[in-house]
Amino acid sequence: MPDNKTFSDDQKLTFIDLFAGIGGIRLAYEKAGAQCVFSSEWDKFAQKTYEANFGELPEGDIRKIDAVTIPDFDILCAGFPCQPFSIAGVSKKLSLNKPHGFDDETQGTLFYEVLRIIRAKKPSAFFLENVKHLERHDRGRTFAIIKKSIENEGYSFFYKVINANKLVPQNRERIFMVGFRDQDITFNFPEIPDLKPKIIQILEDDVPEKYTLTDHLWNYLQNYAEKHRKKGNGFGFGLVNTESYCRTLSARYYKDGSEILIPQEGKNPRRLTPRECARLQGYPDTFKIPVSDTQAYKQFGNSVAVPLIEILAREVVRTLQPECETEAVAKQAPLSKFGVKPSE
């Protein structure tokens, strides 16, 4: 393994953006002063949004990309999808003298592609994001495999579940994993400032009528919720208190918007607009939305809370360059510029 890389104070760190989606992680790392040198995203609609905002079309399916063609970089960033890991049958494979363990168990999974590129390119650091359930999936065995496999490549491994609701007005818990090839580096997840964001801060002033629920859909949602209430279940729509935060925005929001509904005086509640969804994830209003409402809802539901990623990205950059406060970081706009106005 090559010696650990050292960085001069004026050197700009580089990163790659895997499973890039619409570029939320990229936006945050660029705000932290780093430079993106490669991106990959297979979904054609997400590619369209990414290209509209960053001026480049991401490479397609990561499984078809030879690591040799990826430029050298310092930080691997990936919000990889979590697919089930098969653990069963190790004893049987041992008895048959067949491959087993990590390499065998994860063939075909998308995390394996992250590991493949780490192994080939040996970056100085990695930054991974996933749903918080990853830590408990398959009674913790999936996460244990991920952690051990990265450590086996010679990296440290730090992780933490963090809720973005101090920065954006939604309950959004995610697990973040950070590690360094220099195992003498200690990484501390930073404290998250509480901006006390409220839903009312991300709402548009003039919303088209098409976002108001029809009588048919509103009656259906109310009846559905009542049916489950009688059964003692918690299923139902989420009518938002606009002075607080809301439920997690999901990729299924396009179906009926039921998890986050905005009350309206004298008429049925409405769903969020795509721009409001962008703001809910901390995207600036300059972020272009060149796709249909349906695709936009999916994209923002699958995305990251940008202000939270920015804080973590700054700490990763600072950890690699402890003596360097880059001009880009020093002059960056406050976090409230990410679509969430400061509380009065």
By annotation, the residues acting in catalysis are: 82
Residue 18 C-alpha from the chain's centroid: 11
Where on the phi/psi map is residue 332: left (φ > 0), alpha (ψ -120 to 50), or beta? beta
The b-or-e profile of 173-206 (16+ CB within 10 A means b, else e) is ebbbbbbbbbeebebeeeebeebbbbbebbbeee
**Would you call 43 helix, strand, or coil by DSSP?**
coil
Residue 323 C-alpha from the chain's centroid: 28
Nearest Cα neighbor of 278 from 153, 170, 144 is 170
Query: 239 forms bridges with which residues in the sheet?
Result: 261
> Euclidean distance between the first and final Cα of the chain, in Å?
53
**Would you call 269 helix, strand, or coil by DSSP?**
strand
> ∠ at Cα 77 (74, 78), nearest 5°?
150
The CA–CA distances, whole Å, from 245 to 41, 167, 271 equal 30, 10, 15
Amino acid letter for position 222: Q
d(CA 261, CA 270): 6
Amino acid letter for position 49: T
Taking only Cα atoms into account, the Rg of the chain, rounded to an integer number of angstroms, comes to 21
